[in-house]
Amino acid sequence: MIINFESIEEKIENNFKGGEGPVAIRAFNNELGKIMRIRLEKGSVIGYHKHETNSEIMYVVSGTATVLYDDGKETAKAGEVTYCPKGHSHSLINEHDEPLVVFAVVAEQ
């Protein structure tokens, strides 16, 4: 199966997962999980949340992400991947001028 994000409507989620600012999302969803392309402009935040029933992999396509993971804080740049396994918590923040674009896979477990 091929997923063409350009053919999927972009939705703007304000305060996504309790975060701040707008987050642009193009998503394919089914009962097994989600595959998404997510864009955050400067100052936008995906709120800190726990993965109770799934895990999430985020590949940074462009930009730089500040990642809060459990009790830590890390920086992920283009070409790097963040991973939040089931039972853990994370948040994603764009503190830079360049838009942050990530490819995310949320797999139900």
CATH number at residue 82: 2.60.120.10
Identify whether 71 is part of a domain.
Answer: yes
CB 29 within 8 A of CB 14: no
Burial class from Cβ neighbours inside 10 Å (0-12, 13-18, 19+) for residue 61 reads: middle
CA distance 74 to 34: 24
CA distance 103 to 96: 18
Amino acid 6 reads: E
Residues 54-80 have a mean pLDDT of 98
Domain extent at residue 40: 29-108
pLDDT tens, 19-60? 999 999 999 999 999 999 999 999 999 999 999 999 999 999
Percent of the chain with pLDDT over 90: 99
Token reading at 103: 């490819």
The pTM (predicted TM-score) of the whole model is 0.94
Identify whether 11 is part of a domain.
Answer: no
Identify whether 7 is part of a domain.
Answer: no
pLDDT band at residue 15 using 50, 70 and 90 as cut-offs: very high
pLDDT band at residue 106 using 50, 70 and 90 as cut-offs: very high
Amino acid 22 reads: P
Identify whether 61 is part of a domain.
Answer: yes
Q: What is the mean pLDDT of the chain?
A: 97
Identify whether 73 is part of a domain.
Answer: yes
pLDDT band at residue 3 using 50, 70 and 90 as cut-offs: very high
Identify whether 104 is part of a domain.
Answer: yes
